[in-house]
């Protein structure tokens, strides 16, 4: 048995982890532990789904709280994305559309991308996956986080005027006009409610109170926040960059528990604090409480498996096609 914990878990659960990391790293870790019959994933549902897809059928993936979802992943469901695909296929007739989904999405959305010659990306490799997508096709449909899509494609030289937002709540996603010929990105109208809480005012305040501080944020933050920061990158990037940098004062724009753990880790050596005074935290991540972790462990000890995560076989096959395309881009 192994216990995995995402960086956003609170300390009272994180301390029990055999492995910690971001969602993909943890899933790969789980897949490498072939001897582990039980994989307890202290994270949210889509992460456990990815682990389920990558692990052996004999391994059991368990979430301490089966209702721990991700509000970002919930922004896009299969029905909405299918409707969007029909709208875009009509409006962009003659152009090849490549669907790319951030790994923070449901297995159904990953499968949709797999079936339609698309791929999955993470916050650590979105640039590489998008480069491949633009080599392969004409227009990218980026799901479900508009901010990661906008921030990543802007960094590659795509102008804001070449991006449109598809809002599933509106008729034809709000794209009722003819889509201009130079549009390259269709961004799904989703966001991480936690990273949305970092603002330009936070950056201005930190720059004035701590002129020596470097500001590093997650690319799920809004465009202006990322643009005004010194650096942006995935949780793994943030951790590695702070470890390797000579800079000693850091304001970090990501989830509360990861930042406070970094602050403790470097106490006396570096000053690390949250970019926002309100220290945004992800309540879904905290659903894996110590009591729930103990409950699933007690059940295993008694020979019961509770809160096991399953993925439909065909969805798993299609999702893995999208995942495989991403993994091949590492080579």
Binding site for ligand SF4 (CB under 6 A): 8, 44, 70-72, 104, 192-194, 255, 282, 284-285
Residues of the chain by 3-state class (helix, strand, coil), percent to 5:
45, 15, 40
Nearer to ligand SF4 by Cβ, of 168 and 190: the residue is 190
Tokens, residue 111: 């499968």
Distance CA 283, CA 262 (A): 20
Nearer to ligand SF4 by Cβ, of 104 and 288: the residue is 104
Nearer to ligand SF4 by Cβ, of 63 and 92: the residue is 63
Nearer to ligand SF4 by Cβ, of 49 and 255: the residue is 255
Residue 323 · residue 28 · CB < 8 Å: no
Rounded to a whole number of angstroms, the minimum distance from the CB of residue 318 to ligand SF4 is: 22
Nearer to ligand SF4 by Cβ, of 36 and 282: the residue is 282
Rounded to a whole number of angstroms, the minimum distance from the CB of residue 7 to ligand SF4 is: 10
Rounded to a whole number of angstroms, the minimum distance from the CB of residue 19 to ligand SF4 is: 18
Per-residue burial over 93-118, b if 16 or more Cβ lie within 10 Å, else e, is eeeebbbbbbbbbbbbbbbbbbbbbb
Tokens, residue 81: 């994305």
Rounded to a whole number of angstroms, the minimum distance from the CB of residue 281 to ligand SF4 is: 8
Rounded to a whole number of angstroms, the minimum distance from the CB of residue 61 to ligand SF4 is: 17
95: CB partners within 8 A, 6+ apart: 137, 138, 139
Distance CA 322, CA 319 (A): 5
């Amino acid at each position: 048995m192994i216990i995995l914990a995402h960086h956003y878990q609170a300390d009272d659960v994180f301390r029990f982890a055999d492995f910690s990391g971001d969602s993909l790293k943890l899933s790969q870790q789980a897949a490498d532990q072939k001897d582990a019959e039980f994989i307890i994933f202290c994270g949210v549902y889509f992460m456990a789904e990815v682990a389920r897809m990558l692990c052996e059928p004999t391994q059991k993936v368990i979430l301490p709280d089966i209702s721990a979802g991700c509000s970002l992943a919930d922004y896009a469901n299969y029905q909405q994305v299918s409707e969007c695909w029909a709208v875009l296929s009509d409006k962009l007739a003659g152009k090849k559309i490549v669907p790319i989904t951030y790994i923070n999405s449901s297995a159904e959305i990953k499968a949709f991308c797999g079936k339609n010659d698309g791929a999955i990306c993470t916050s650590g490799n979105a640039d590489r996956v998008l480069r491949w997508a633009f080599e392969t096709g004409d227009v990218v449909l980026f799901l479900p986080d508009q901010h990661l899509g906008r921030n990543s494609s802007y960094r590659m030289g795509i102008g804001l005027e070449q991006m449109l937002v598809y809002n599933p709540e509106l008729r034809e996603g709000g794209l009722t006009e003819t889509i201009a010929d130079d549009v390259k990105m269709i961004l799904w109208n989703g966001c991480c409610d936690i990273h949305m809480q970092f603002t330009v005012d936070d950056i201005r305040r930190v720059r004035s109170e701590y002129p020596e501080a470097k500001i590093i944020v997650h690319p799920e933050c809004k465009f202006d926040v990322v643009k005004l920061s010194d650096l942006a990158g995935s949780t793994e990037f943030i951790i590695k960059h702070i470890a390797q940098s000579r800079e000693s004062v850091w304001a970090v724009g990501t989830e509360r528990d990861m930042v406070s753990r970094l602050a403790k880790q470097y106490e006396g050596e570096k000053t690390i604090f949250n970019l926002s005074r309100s220290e945004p935290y992800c309540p879904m991540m905290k659903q894996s409480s110590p009591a729930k972790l103990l409950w699933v462990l007690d059940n295993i000890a008694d020979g019961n498996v509770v809160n096991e995560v399953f993925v439909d076989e065909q969805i798993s096959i299609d999702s893995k096609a999208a995942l495989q395309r991403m993994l091949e881009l590492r080579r």
